[in-house]
Amino acid sequence: MARRLPDISAGSALTLHVAGRRIELLHPGRPAHTTGDLIAWLPEERVLFSGDLVFAGLTPLVFMGSVDGALAAVDWLESLQPDVVVPGHGPVLTGTGITRVLDEHRRYYRLILDTAQDGLSRGLTPLQAARQVDLGEFTGWADAERIVLNLHRVYADHAGRDLDVIAAFGNAIAWLGRPMHTSV
């Protein structure tokens, strides 16, 4: 098989036709997981390849995007009314599994936003805020230390500054108490 470099790019949307199948590449309209998120939507088949806008069964990571944007992206994804979601991480979702995972994302992102608001009002650092939060239903999710990275994102956005990636990872390691690993 010959390999070649990509020769097309997409801004907010691009429709491809491959073997008689329509594939829509769509951007959520604002940063979510990252600034360059794209999904692949097969409207006739009602299949959504969400990329890292959906993490099924493990902690979402949005520190290179926006927690507010990720929360809005959940509603946007749901508005497509997919029958099948292929997440960036975790098992393929169908039926009520789609609603369950999207609702979990909403609750998680609201937890991050509420924790950040409380931490900012009390003068806490992202690490201090993360150490005080009860993860509740999210305690068993893999990569729980991502709460620190996600809080760093909200704090940076609130201050109108770039994210300090080194500080964010250093704090995540401190919260975890050991070197980080990841689950896919």
Q: Which of 36, 20, 18 is nearest to 28 (CA)?
A: 36
Q: Which residues pair with 30 in a beta bridge?
A: none
Phi–psi pair at 152, nearest 5 degrees? -60, -40
Closest listed residue to residue 61, CA positions, set 132, 149, 184: 149
Q: What is the pLDDT of residues 122-154, one digit of tens each?
A: 999 999 999 999 999 999 999 999 999 999 999
Confidence at 181, pLDDT banded by 50, 70, 90: confident
pLDDT at position 184 over 60: no
pTM: 0.92
Q: What is the mean pLDDT of residues 55-60?
A: 95
In percent, the amount of the chain with pLDDT more than 90 equals: 91
pLDDT-derived band of residue 69, with 50, 70 and 90 as boundaries? very high
- Report the pLDDT value the prediction gives residue 148, as an integer from 0 to 100: 98
Q: Say if residues 34 and 61 touch (Cβ distance below 8 Å).
A: no
Averaged pLDDT score across all residues of the chain: 95
Confidence of residue 10 (pLDDT cuts 50, 70, 90): confident
Of 6, 2, 97, 4, the closest CA to residue 50 belongs to: 97
CA atoms within 13 A on the CB side of 42: 14
